[in-house]
Amino acid sequence: MSRSPVVIGVDSSTQSTKAAFTDATTGRLLAVGRAPHRVTGEGGARETDPEVWWNALREAVAAGLKESGTDASAVTGIAVAGQQHGLVVLDRTGRPLRPALLWNDTRSAPQAAALTDALGGPDAWTARTGSVPVASMTASKWQWLRENDPAIAEATAAIRLPHDFLTERLSGTAATDAGDASGTCWYSTATGEYDPELLALLGLDADLLPAVATTGAARVGSLTAGSAAELGLPAGIAVAAGTGDNMSAAVGLGFGGAGLLDHPVLSLGTSGTVFAATRTRPGSPALAGFAAADGTYLPLACTLNCTLAVDKVASLLRLDREDAVPGGEAVLLPYLDGERTPDLPAASGLLTGLRHDTSPQQLLGAAYEGAAVTVLRALDEVLRACGLDPASPDAAGRPLRLVGGGAQGRMWVDTVRRLSGRRVIVPTSGELVALGAAALAAGAATGEDPVAIATSWRTGDGPELPAVERDMETWERVGSVLDRAAPSLLS
């Protein structure tokens, strides 16, 4: 049973909730409680009842308490890191009016395009928000709701992101942070506030939105008596503002103003993301120019199709996910849910280069390659957003950190090394989003910098794998197919 202060970092992702019980002094992971989510929807629809997230949080905390043997009285703080962009609409009692539209719901692609044009194009949006509306962004989803279910939109008394919804349940305070808010496309990274002109464009009253805390570690309230009773935790412990999942992973790695800056990260999960923490405000239409949880910035590119899409191909081929070899002449773009980067919301999977001697193992390897090339193509743009020349020895020599579930898979690591030609670091800590949230919770409880806390915990440490010769033949073959196919994948 831990006698040191304990903090809980919650990772509320698309598929599940994880509650990381963490020794606040050493960063030692005591236990991770888990509970699944249910995602519904066909075609481009992806939805979850927000009450599922709250029930999963309760189950995960209970499991973590039991597994760790933690005396609940030792817990001093809690923070939630959540999947970004989801649209949660609430009534006047704080109850959901409908299931939340998730980040990977692509139905709002027409609204995203119309919003982009309404403000004067991509550059006008990046100048204000750092990002251009795509189907993933919350603003596009809100516009879709206004057009497709105006009665619900009219009845909406509050709008929250997934992590905001849970933070408010914990603390009774309507709060978010700049990191997650920067993924809405109605928050300005240029001013650090909600943008009045964008709110007017969206027919949105600022009173519907939560207050924005200065950082994800800001204490926005205390655990209410009601929530404490449901969770089996002490009332009054610190509740941090929390943040989005990508911002929290950066904290868990020790990235930010008190840690490493301008170093690239590749996250291999349901989505594939490449990002870096930097002091330079990003403004590239090719990227999402997010704020980070600690007051710096997080230029990021995100793909919709990563580990789940490759696992689906493995299932169709009746292969184990590791039973793959390089794809040979075959190219498989596994865009099973449309795609965000590049912006192809109506796309489906594409296979070309099939031969009589193509093996099932090569087809699976081609799926890995298609997913990896798609996200790695954005790496140079992320480095440019940090003020680096991607071709310079300095930028090219910086190791690529691999995180997320895919980073634990041999084939994912081998494919990324082969196609990037970079040194690769695989952090030993496997729950970086939850550990980042734990550092935010510790910051809320103590007033310390969460990046400095995570750095002292050394949660971002791991073995370094040397660079291998880059497979330019595969890189160029996959890239060529993608460039040629993109116009036809738009519809």
Which residues are annotated as part of the binding site? Answer: 84-85
Of 105, 177, 180, 245, the catalytic one is 245
Residue with tokens 């497709």: 148
DSSP code for 311: H
Residue with tokens 């490493």: 260
Q: What is the torsion angle, in degrees rounded to the nearest 10, for the CA atoms of residue 46, residue 348, residue 375 and residue 109? A: -50
Is 357 marked active-site? no
Q: What is the DSSP string of 391-430?
A: TSHHHHTSPEEEESGGGG-HHHHHHHHHHH-S-EE--S-S
Residue 348: other Cβ atoms inside 10 A? 13
Residue corresponding to tokens 């994880």? 18
Sequence-distant (6+) residues with CB within 8 A of 95 are: none
Angle at 363 between CA 358 and CA 368, to 5 degrees: 145
Which residue positions form the known binding site for substrate?
A: 84-85
Q: What are the tokens at 356?
A: 């009589």
Counting Cα atoms < 13 Å in the Cβ hemisphere of 99 gives: 15
Residue 436's alpha-carbon distances to 177, 282, 355, in angstroms, are: 14, 22, 46
In terms of C-beta density within 10 A (0-12 exposed, 13-18 middle, 19 or more buried), how is residue 212 classed?
buried
The runs of H, that is alpha helices, within 291-347 are 307-316
Q: Which residues are catalytic?
A: 245
